[in-house]
Structure formats: C-alpha cells, structure tokens
Amino acid sequence: MHRAAVPPRFGNKPIAGFLAIILFILVSAWCFDGSGFSIVQLLGSSEYLLRFLHEAFPPIDEHRLTFEQFDRYCLALIETFQMAFAGTLVGLLIGFILALFASRGLMFESRRSNLLQWSVKMLISLFRTVPDLVWAIIFVMVVGLGAFAGTLTIMVDTIGFCGRFFAEEMEDVDRSSAEALSASGARRFDTVFAAVVPAATPGLITTSLFAFEKAIRSSVVLGLVGAGGIGLELQSLMNWMAYDRAMVIIGMIFALVLVVEQLSSYFRKLVMKNE
C-alpha cells in the first residue's frame, strides 16, 4: 500500500511566515519612532503631575466643595447615565436592523444583495469611523446644547459599533438550521428570525453590554463640547484649575464606570452560563 505523504510542518509557505514576522518588527519600530514614545520625557514631567496632585488633594473639604455643588454633580452624573442608556437602546435597535442587511447572504441571496450589503456596511463604517466628539459637535449644532445632542451621539456611536459586530455574529452562525427551514418552504425573513437570530443571541447580548459600557465611558467626554452630562462640569473645573473639585468628579465618574462594568460583566457571565 502506498499512502499520501505527511503534510509539511509549516504549511506550504514557511518563508512567507518569516517575512511576515520581520515585517511586523519593522513596522513596530517605525511606529514607536514616529509616536515620540519616550520614557525619559514621561519621567521628566513628573513635577507637573505632582503639582496637579498637590492641588487636587484633599478633594473634599468644607472650604472647597459645597453641598449644592455636589448635588449638581450628582444630577449631571445621572444625566450622563440616562443619555448613555437611552442612546444605547435606540442605537441597538437601529444597529440591529442595519446589521441584518449588512450581514453577508442573510436577508437576500448573496448575489442579488451585494450592492445593498456593501452600502449598508459603508454607512455603518461611517457612523463608526467619525469620532464621537465630532458627532457631538454636529448634533450640538443641529439640536442645540444639552443632553439630547449627547444622546444622539451615543446612538450613532452604538449603531456603528453594534452594526458591525451584530453583522459579524450573524455571519458566524452555522447556517445549516436556517437552510433546513428554507428547505421546508419557510420565507427568508422567517428563517433569519427563527434560526439565525436565536443562535446568535448570546453574542448579540454580549455585544450590547459592551456597547453600553462604551457609551457610559464616552458619554462622560461629550460634555466637553456641550452635549450634556457631567463632562461639562469637569471641563469648567479644569479650566478654572479647580483640581480639587475636578478630582471629586473624576472619582464619581470612576465609580459609575466601575459599577456599570461590574454589572455588565455579571450579566455577561449569566448569558455565558446559559450557553
């Protein structure tokens, strides 16, 4: 008996692998050079850091933080949370609908829908690639200063994030059960929702939770351009060099982000356990 030869260890193209590693090293060196990365400079500026810390502590002291101020910060923090939550929710919904069409060969036969799929993908990329601060400036211009502009920004951000990952999750689902349903005469639309979406749910939920975490983090900065939330307070304090009270706000933001991240990872584990 003559059997087939053992396949080579490093595939057919070992040279290509080595070249790829060398290329990676060269690119990294080039990028570190261009980014001005310097430990020396970082250590050299420690005096400014110390000044900031000196003026920031102790942050809570009756001469510095009044109860009214603290109250206002709390309201701003709550507003931040509300913006993030509402914006994420609407963004998830729209992102999901767009993802259905951005997902390869999902809603239509692949060859007919190529153009549509490509355009939706581009639209989602546009939402994602324009930075949130830019969206915030645009929305402040359109709907005026305040929380609504921030909410719209979060929404657009979420569409960009979830549109992409929802689409990928639905692409990764094994299509054989959907195929079985279409072999029994089910409409495409029904096979998507009866077979593909249920199989993708854990991924969809996980992505949604990540989107919310991301929204909480970015909603903090939106205030810097007047789009509502606690960022506005932070910015004016920094401008006034009131580092002590700024420190209070940073602490509050830290607490909010931490709580949301903990909750989110708790829910994620719950979803995974039911997997």
Task: Write out the residues near another protein by the rule CB under 8 A.
Answer: 176-177, 179-187, 189-191, 193-195, 198-199, 201-202
Q: How far is the CB of 173 from another protein (least distance, A)?
A: 9
Please, what is the minimum distance in Å from the beta carbon of residue 136 to another protein?
A: 38
Which residue number, 41 or 184, has a Cβ lying nearer to another protein?
A: 184
Closer residue to another protein, CB minimum distance, 89 or 181:
181
The smaller minimum CB distance to another protein, of residues 200 and 234, is found at 200
**Residue 7 or 185 with smaller CB distance to another protein:** 185
Beta strands in 95-242 (DSSP E): none
Give the shortest CB-272-to-another protein separation in angstroms.
13
Q: Compute the least distance from the CB of residue 155 to another protein, in Å.
A: 26
CB 196 to another protein: min, Å = 9
C-alpha 71/C-alpha 49 separation (Å) is: 29
Query: Residue 103 and residue 29: Cα distance in Å, rounded?
Result: 37
Nearer to another protein, 149 or 178 (CB): 178
> Whole-angstrom Cα distance, residue 127 to residue 223?
20
Using CA atoms, how far apart are residues 107 and 163, in angstroms rounded to an integer?
A: 15
Kindly state the smallest distance separating residue 112's Cβ from another protein, in Å.
11
Contacts of 38 (CB under 8 A, 6+ apart): none
Query: What interhelical angle do 67-102 and 110-129 show, nearest 10?
Result: 160
- When the beta carbons of 145 and 199 are compared against another protein, the nearer one is 199
| Other residues' Cβ atoms within 10 Å of the Cβ of residue 124 | 23
CA distance 152 to 132: 10
Cis amide bond preceding 59, omega within 30: no
